[in-house]
Amino acid sequence: MDLRVLWAACVTIFLAEIGDKTQLAVFGGTATTGKPLEIFLGAMFGLAAATAIGVMLGQVMGTLVSPKLLRIAGGILFIGIGLWLLMKPEA
């Protein structure tokens, strides 16, 4: 097991999830129900299922497309989304 990859994935996902809609849903669910263990377990299993799908799709994409092309496409996608968000009129 490559612990550097494990740590990088952990830190990346942790930072990406702070303050996002998943965390807000967990916050609201816990505040509403008063059942923190059930909300924690449900969120944990839900995130694990979504992550498993991402890992499986990533594995397939990794065999079909070169890593360099994936990095380029990912970079272009992130830049495109950033530009779209900057130019999007406020609602």
CA distances to 27, 32, 48, 69 from 54, rounded to whole Å, are 24, 30, 10, 18
pLDDT for the residue 7? 95
pLDDT of residue 47: 92
* Dist. CA 43–CA 29, nearest whole Å: 10
Alpha helices in the chain (DSSP H): 3-17, 21-33, 36-64, 67-87
Give the three-state DSSP class for 65. coil
- pLDDT tens readout for residues 53-65: 999 998 998 889 9
pLDDT, tens digit only, all 91 positions of the chain? 999 999 999 999 888 888 888 889 999 999 999 999 999 999 999 999 999 999 999 899 888 999 899 889 989 999 999 999 899 877 5
